[in-house]
Structure 1
Amino acid sequence: MDKMGLGTSSQLKESLKKVRHFALDMDGTIYNGGTLFPFTIPFLDYLKENGIGYSFLTNNPSKSTADYLAHLDKIGIRATKEEMYTSAQATIDYIKVHHPETRRLFILGTPSMVREFEGAGFISTADDADDVPDMLVVGFDMSLVYPRLCRAAWWASRGIPYIATNPDWVCPTDKPVILVDCGSICACIESASGRKPDLVIGKPDPRMLSGILERYSLQPDQVAMVGDRIYTDVRMAHNAGAVGILVMSGETTMEIVEQSDLKPDIIAENLAEIQEMLKIH
C-alpha cells in the first residue's frame, strides 16, 4: 500500500498547501502516556514559525481543561485554554444547545471530569435511586467503582436520555496494562441494561471540529486532523471534510490500515515526517 494515502506527490502537495490549522490528537500523537515524543516541540515550533495554527483535540474526558493544560505544561508544552478541546467540552456544548433544560446529570466519570461539568453549571446527582437525574453521561472513568457502574446501568434501564463522551474501547498507554475506556464501559452497561447510548460525542463525530472551524473562520479542507486511530481521528476528518492524517506513533499498525474500509488521506510515521512533508510545498 502506498504510504502516502493520497497517492502522488502532487496530490500530497495540493492537500497540505491548503492547510492553515492542525487539529492534533494527544495520546499516541504528541505523547504516549506521560512521555512527550521528542519530535513534538520541533513540530509545534515549525507551525508557529510558518503561521499555521494548531489545537489539541482529545477523546479522553478524564481530565478537565485546566488539568490538561497543567499536564501539558508539566511535560513541556505551553498551551492556552483556546487551544484545548476535549470530548467533555464537546458533550457540555451539545447538551447546552440541544437539551437546554437539562441541569441534573448522573456522571460516570473522574472527579476532574465531574468538576468540568459542574463548572459549566450542571449538578452532579448522587448514587441514589431517589436522586433522579435529567440525563446519564458516561465517560472514561478511571475512578470507576462498582456501585456507580450499577447505578449508571439502572438509569440506562429507566430510559432517561443517555450520552457517552467518546467511543474509544481503550486508552493508549506506555505502561504494561490495558486502560479500559468509555466504549468498553458502555458495552458493559449495554450488556446489563440492554441499552446503548442515545448519542456518542467525541471523535469521529464531526462536531469535534466545528468549534475550530467557527473560531478561526476556516473551511474544512483548510484543517488537517492528525491522530493515531482510523476509527476516531481519520473517520472524524472524513466526516467533517477535513484532511485525515494517520500517524503510526500510537496504536495503529499497517495491518489495521490494510483491513480498514476507510483509508487515511496521508500516512506518516510521526509528526516529524509530517513536518518534512510540509517543507516540500
Structure 2
Amino acid sequence: MMNHGGTRMTYAYERIKKIKCFLFDMDGTINLGNQLIPGMEGFFDKLKAVGRDYYLLTNNSSRSHEHYVNKMNGLGVPVTRQDILISSDALTNWLRKHRPGARLFVLGTPQLLQTVAEAGFTLTNTLEESADYVVVGFDQTLTYERLAIACRLIDKGVPYVATHPDVRCPIEGGEFIPDTGAMLELIKTATGKKPQLIFGKPYQYMVDVVLDKTGYAKEEIAMVGDRLATDIAFGLNNGILSIMVLTGEATLEDVEQGSIKPDIILPHAKEILKYL
C-alpha cells in the first residue's frame, strides 16, 4: 500500500529487500501500552531468521534501557540492552565525540541521571559547581529548584541541549502529559535562549548511533513507525527508508493532508516480512 505513483512504489519495495537493519518505534508500532499489537507475535524471531538486525527506538529519555528490555521481553519481544536505543544514547554518543568527560547539570529522572553517569559523565547539582552543559530530559521528577538552577546556568552562558523535542507524551486513555518540548519552551521563554542541539527523532543523532554501532550504510537502514512528525520525518530527514504503519497514531488521511510523505505505508509491521 502506497500513497505515491507506481514507479516509486516498486522502487520503495525494492529498497526493503536491501535493508539489513530495521529501526522500530515501539508504542503504536509493536505495542499499544502494555499490550502487544495482535499479529506481532513471533515477528522479530522471523526477522532474525532471514538475517536482519533490528533496534527498538524511543525518544522517551525518562526511562532506562532495563525498563524497555523488561517491558518488551514481557510482551514476547526478544531484546537485550544492546537492542534498545533511547534519545539519551544519542546524547551520550555525541558528547563522547565532542566533549568527553563533560560536567553536566541534568534535568531528568533518576533513570536518565544513571544512564548519563554510566556513560562516563560527571553530574553536577548546584549553581556553584561548574557545568559544561545543561541537559534537558523528560523529567517527571522536576522541581522548581532544579529548573531555576538550570535557567540561571543558561543565563550565565552555559549551553543547553535536550534529549528529544516531543511536546506531549501520550498516556493511557488517549490523554497526554507535558514532555521535554514543553519544558524547552518554558526555558526559552525564561532565558531567551534556544537549545544548542536536540538529540532524539527526527534529528540525525540517533542514526549516527546506529551507523557507529553497526557499520551499515544508510541505504541498508529503515525506520518503521506510526508517527509522521517523529518516526517518518526521522527517516526522510536522514536518508533512510521510512515505513509508516497504520496500527498507531497516523492515518492515511493524515498523510494525504500533511506535508510528510512516507516512502512506504503498510497496514501492519508484520507485512515487512512479505518483501524480504
Once the two structures are superposed, residues 109-155 of structure 1 have per-residue CA deviations (whole angstroms, 9 ceiling, x without a partner) of: 111010001111222222x3223322100011122223222322222
When the two structures are aligned, how many residues end up with a matched partner?
274
Q: Tell me, yes or no, if the aligned pair for 2:17 and 2:275 is still in contact at 8 Å.
A: no
Given the alignment of the two structures, is residue 139 of structure 1 paired with residue 137 of structure 2, yes or no? Answer: yes
Once residues 173 and 29 of structure 1 are traced to their aligned partners in structure 2, the CA distance between those partners, rounded to angstroms, is: 15
What amino acid does structure 2 have at the position aligned with 1:120? A
Unpaired segments ≥5 residues, structure 2: none
Q: So what's the TM-score if we normalise by structure 1?
A: 0.89
Given the alignment of the two structures, is residue 168 of structure 1 paired with residue 177 of structure 2, yes or no? Answer: no
Aligned to 1:279: 274
More off after superposition, 173-182 vs 263-272: 173-182
Once the two structures are superposed, residues 221-268 of structure 1 have per-residue CA deviations (whole angstroms, 9 ceiling, x without a partner) of: 221101122222112212221100112322223343234322110122
More off after superposition, 246-255 vs 110-119: 246-255
Q: Tell me, yes or no, if the aligned pair for 1:32 and 1:174 is still in contact at 8 Å.
A: no
Question: Residues 173-184 of structure 1 correspond to what in structure 2 (within 5 A)?
Answer: 173-184=171-182
What amino acid does structure 1 have at the position aligned with 2:91? T
Given the alignment of the two structures, is residue 246 of structure 1 paired with residue 244 of structure 2, yes or no? Answer: yes
Unpaired segments ≥5 residues, structure 1: none
Q: So what's the TM-score if we normalise by structure 2?
A: 0.90
Once residues 17 and 83 of structure 2 are traced to their aligned partners in structure 1, the CA distance between those partners, rounded to angstroms, is: 22
* Post-superposition offset of 1:176: 4.5
* Post-superposition offset of 1:173: 2.8
Q: Secondary structure at the match of 2:29?
A: coil
Q: Tell me, yes or no, if the aligned pair for 1:6 and 1:12 is still in contact at 8 Å.
A: no
Aligned to 2:127: 129
RMSD: 2.0
Once residues 154 and 270 of structure 1 are traced to their aligned partners in structure 2, the CA distance between those partners, rounded to angstroms, is: 47
Aligned to 1:112: 111
More off after superposition, 4-13 vs 263-272: 4-13
Q: Tell me, yes or no, if the aligned pair for 1:32 and 1:173 is still in contact at 8 Å.
A: no
Aligned to 1:207: 205
What amino acid does structure 2 have at the position aligned with 1:89? D
Q: Secondary structure at the match of 2:173?
A: coil
Once residues 143 and 75 of structure 2 are traced to their aligned partners in structure 1, the CA distance between those partners, rounded to angstroms, is: 29
Q: Tell me, yes or no, if the aligned pair for 1:69 and 1:80 is still in contact at 8 Å.
A: yes
What amino acid does structure 1 have at the position aligned with 2:39? F
Large movers: runs of 4+ above 4 Å: none
* Post-superposition offset of 1:174: 3.0
What amino acid does structure 2 have at the position aligned with 1:118? A
Match of residue 189, structure 1, among 183, 187, 190: 187
* Post-superposition offset of 1:6: 4.7
Once the two structures are superposed, residues 151-195 of structure 1 have per-residue CA deviations (whole angstroms, 9 ceiling, x without a partner) of: 222222222011101111122333343121111111111112211
